[in-house]
Amino acid sequence: MDSTCYLISDLHLTSDRPDTFKAFAKFVSGEAAKLKLYILGDLFEAWLGDDDDSSLANEVRIILKTFTDKGGQLYIMPGNRDFLLGEAFCDTVGATLLTDPTVHIIGSKPTLLMHGDTLCTDDTEYQKFRKISRDPSWKTNVLSKSLEERRDLAKNLRQMSSEANSNKAENIMDVNTSTVDEFMGLYDITQLIHGHTHRPQHHQETFGDRWVLGAWEKEAWILKITDDERLLKAIRI
């Protein structure tokens, strides 16, 4: 059995970026076909709930369902932009919904998988919002609103986030290395893979390897792992 595994994150799919959508569709139906694929958060720029009926949401459902119907194994972790993504969406496309964090065997090694936002503990303002927005009662309240109301809410939240980030120092929005050590030590692992920071890189940390996935902007960042290889590569979009 082919042990090849692909990991991606931060595609931020939106109807305004058809180039990114096309690159994703090509990758899923081509290089990743019939293999194991992990999407570690922010597949969508915004996710209104699993009842999202936009044309983009439906097109992504079709692409992913085709991938799993043809033998691909799909694992999806919500991110900070699409944290309302849930079991219903994953059931529809034949994917497994991942909790954050979670440990899977990747390339024959127990590996800690995270979106990565919980590692950015220096960004105290964001961490406060994250705690509120992950509360089940907050989610229930949001999902009880109409899709149109949720679209307006998502637009406002993105605008507020953009304005807040423009006034933050770059290092604040990166991971805190002590927090990285804490998580890797807590889970007793020597390999951590995450996205969120949009800073693709391989780091050698106190407890082992940390792989950071990149955002799909001008390039599509893909981490390919087999039992013998770890390759972080960028493909021009």
Per residue in 165-174, pLDDT (tens digit) is 777 788 888 9
Task: Report how far apart the first and last C-alpha atoms of the chain are (Å, whole number).
Answer: 30
- Whether this prediction's pTM lies above 0.85 is answered by yes
Give, in order, the Cα–Cα distances in Å from 149 to each of 33, 131, 142, 152.
Answer: 37, 22, 9, 5
Per residue in 92-142, pLDDT (tens digit) is 999 999 999 999 999 999 999 999 999 999 999 999 999 999 999 999 999
Q: How many CA atoms lie within 13 A of 197 on its CB side?
A: 24
* 216 φ/ψ angles, rounded to the nearest 5 degrees: -90, 95
At 211 the pLDDT is: 98
Neighbouring-strand partners of residue 114: 194
Domain boundaries, the chain: 5-236
What is the C-alpha to C-alpha distance for residues 143 and 206, in angstroms, rounded to an integer? 41
At 97 the pLDDT is: 98
Q: What's the fold here for domain 5-236? A: Purple Acid Phosphatase; chain A, domain 2 (3.60.21)
Give, in order, the Cα–Cα distances in Å from 113 to each of 98, 146, 190, 212.
Answer: 9, 33, 12, 11
